[in-house]
Structure 1
Amino acid sequence: MASSGSYGPVSQNEARAVVQAAIEAGGCLIDTADVYADGDSERLIGSLLSNSEGALVATKVGLVRDPTSPYGVDIVGRPEYLREAVQNAARRLAVPHIDVVFLHRIDHRVPIEESVGCLSDMVAEGHVRGVGISEASVDSILRAHATHPLSAVQSEYSLWSRDVDSSGALNVLQELQVPFIASSPLGKGFLTGALKWPPSEGAKDSRQKLPRFAQESYLANRSMLPTLRGVAERLDASMAQVALAWVAAKQPRTVAIPATRRVERLLENLASEQVQLDAADVSLLDESFATVRVAGERYADMTFVNR
């Protein structure tokens, strides 16, 4: 996400510095998508991979630009499209095969067995090593896994976004022993406590389209932050580090992938591994965020997720 441009413009130098620092940290997961910056995110990552060792690269396919859509994209799960999209992604990443390819969203117009079956064929052909799906319902997870063993499932998960918990998806993944990748574990920046909102006039920021970041909702949701801030101060950690430590404490077999545009924030996030929350801390944060109802949905159209 460092070079996706979702949260405003990012210079190539800034994006390269973040990705390079992540690679140098060693043993990292680099997550991107073909739709991020219209492929430029994959190109940038590909330009840096040749000198890397141990970096696991995952990309997502299945979203295409659509100016008629509220979010500017449409979901496409047709096998012929997915095959071409994966081939194009591999070229941009400059790799002979991609470690994990995710369906970015589930296309209900196409049986998931056909979409996942296409990626399964590409595993057999050596183009892809692992198959994943994103923002999927329990039914979709079970059907996809029956078609091809899933390497991972990715969905938004954080202190203020627990859809995959309430839907039962996390329990199913534990039963299947499928790793879970938590996207937006910092609540798209909200849980850092440092988000300056709204952005300056004229700034392009995808969060402006999200109900939770509407001015009234944003102000109401800030009442959730004092407890998180208090735990962070007591542990001599940042709010972001505590939010990431909460994700790690809540779910086994989970990898959090916080987005960042700054090297210093990347290093801060990586240092969250040193933050240990005890059961009382986890319970306190759980209760604090459960007591106050989150104002605003994740998306204006929630049929876009949990598919």
Structure 2
Amino acid sequence: MPSIPQVTLAGKSVGQMGFGLMQLTWTPNPPSDEVSFAAMKAAADAGATAWSTACFYGNEENPWANLELIARFFKKYPEYEEKIVLVVKGGFPIPSKEDLVNKYREELVKTKSILGNKVIDVYSAARLPPGVPPEQVFEALKTLKEEGLFIEVGASETSAPTLRKAAKIVPIAIIEIEVSLWSYEQEIQEVITWSKETKVPVFCYSPLGRGFITRTYKTPDDIPDGAFIKYLPRFQGKAFYDNLKLVDQLDVMAEKKGLTTPQLALAWICNISPYNIPIPGSSNPERVKQNIEAAAIKLSKEDLEELDKTLSSFPPIGGRYPDAMNGLQMQ
């Protein structure tokens, strides 16, 4: 397997393809530890050493399930602890303005107790609390960093103007936003521009359009009841079928290049900026390896121009989130 480009994150060199662990626990029927561990090992061994997790990637009974899975993995395979840069999101339920530091601290103490010897390399608030000045959030995170609860401060769903303000308060190690051939709005492009200027990497979540680019679902009715994406406008009704026109075009281009459509989509993210780190997730070791290989794929200027033209011709129909969640999107 070819080696993949490297990016500096929290002072360490990591592969330009990361690994998202959400679907290993935040699902009605999570895979067994044996299955999850095989995927996690495959990711690390192939060079995806930047991992994305959260304090709430579980169910109502146990929101800490993802962190507990990671702890069990490192207990069984302690030799991987130093190889992995762990980026942890928190702040759910969203704390009040008056209680930011205490709530984040309480969550971090619990996280550290679960992870044991594994340090939290980066911690970020998953969403900026609505109505709270962003500067106050990053002041709180700076305080907790100085207390030694984690190594570096990250950001999530944060706009370029807010990142500029935040970086004056505390160094930002990484920004996590949605980036894909299906999510490349102006505000996303502005964050990537900021990243190139500052050399702060971008964790690109949902890089395969939450399974839309991979055709996980053929119709809206295929989406299981209770699945989060069932409530997203892009997956509903006529919008679903209109959005498939983009995937049709991507399939044609991928076939011409001898790639899978997911590999084309991931390679595009890596090619538009050397600081982009897509974080696809999978419990299938072979799929994990195929995804990671995409970081080494070089697209030509003509390829990128063709993809730009395709995106302009087939813009996504519907918002990234329902209107009710507007307050939790990029601020």
Measure how far apart 1:112 and its partner are.
2.4
Q: Name whichever of 254-263 and 235-244 sits farther off.
A: 254-263
1:19 is matched with 40
For residue 58 of structure 1, the aligned residue among 87, 93, 97 is 87
TM-score (normalised: structure 1): 0.89
Q: 3-state DSSP class of the match of 1:63? A: coil
Measure how far apart 1:5 and its partner are.
2.3
Measured against aligned partners, the alpha-carbon deviations of 1:112-139 in whole angstroms (never above 9, x if no partner) come to: 2332222222322322111111111223
User: Which one scores higher on RCO, CA 8 angstroms, separation ≥ 6?
Assistant: 2
For residue 73 of structure 2, the aligned residue among 48, 51, 70 is 48
For residue 289 of structure 1, the aligned residue among 300, 311, 314 is 311
8 Å CA contact retained: 2:95, 2:103: no
1:237 is matched with 259
Give the aligned length.
Answer: 297
Root-mean-square deviation over aligned CA pairs: 2.1
2:10 is matched with none
Residues 227-306 of structure 1: pairs in structure 2 closer than 5 A: 227-301=249-323, 302-306=326-330
- Residues 298 and 79 from structure 1, CA distance in 2 versus in 1: closer, same or farther, beyond 3 angstroms? same
CA distance in 2, matches of 1:117, 1:213: 38
CA distance in 2, matches of 1:151, 1:63: 21
- Residues 29 and 76 from structure 1, CA distance in 2 versus in 1: closer, same or farther, beyond 3 angstroms? farther
After superposing on structure 2, the runs of 4+ consecutive aligned residues of structure 1 that deviate more than 6 Å are none
CA distance in 1, matches of 2:150, 2:239: 41
8 Å CA contact retained: 1:63, 1:76: no
8 Å CA contact retained: 1:160, 1:294: yes
Measured against aligned partners, the alpha-carbon deviations of 1:47-101 in whole angstroms (never above 9, x if no partner) come to: 112231411111101122xxxxxxxxx5666111111111212222223530011
Measured against aligned partners, the alpha-carbon deviations of 1:178-237 in whole angstroms (never above 9, x if no partner) come to: 211111111111112344443658544211111111132111100111221122112211
2:195 is matched with 173
1:225 equivalent to 2:247? Answer yes
CA distance in 2, matches of 1:247, 1:174: 13
1:141 equivalent to 2:163? Answer yes
8 Å CA contact retained: 1:138, 1:167: no
Q: 3-state DSSP class of the match of 1:158? A: coil
2:149 is matched with 127
- Residues 239 and 148 from structure 1, CA distance in 2 versus in 1: closer, same or farther, beyond 3 angstroms? same
Q: 3-state DSSP class of the match of 1:178? A: coil
Q: 3-state DSSP class of the match of 2:210? A: helix
For residue 103 of structure 1, the aligned residue among 92, 103, 125 is 125
Unaligned runs of 5+ in 2: 1-21
- Percent of aligned pairs with the same amino acid: 26
For residue 33 of structure 1, the aligned residue among 24, 43, 54 is 54
Letter of the 2:66 partner, please give it. Answer: S
Q: 3-state DSSP class of the match of 1:132? A: strand
8 Å CA contact retained: 2:130, 2:327: no
Q: 3-state DSSP class of the match of 1:151? A: strand
Q: Name whichever of 209-218 and 104-113 sits farther off.
A: 104-113
8 Å CA contact retained: 1:29, 1:55: yes
8 Å CA contact retained: 2:25, 2:31: no
- Residues 228 and 193 from structure 1, CA distance in 2 versus in 1: closer, same or farther, beyond 3 angstroms? same
CA distance in 2, matches of 1:94, 1:215: 46
Measure how far apart 1:147 and its partner are.
0.9
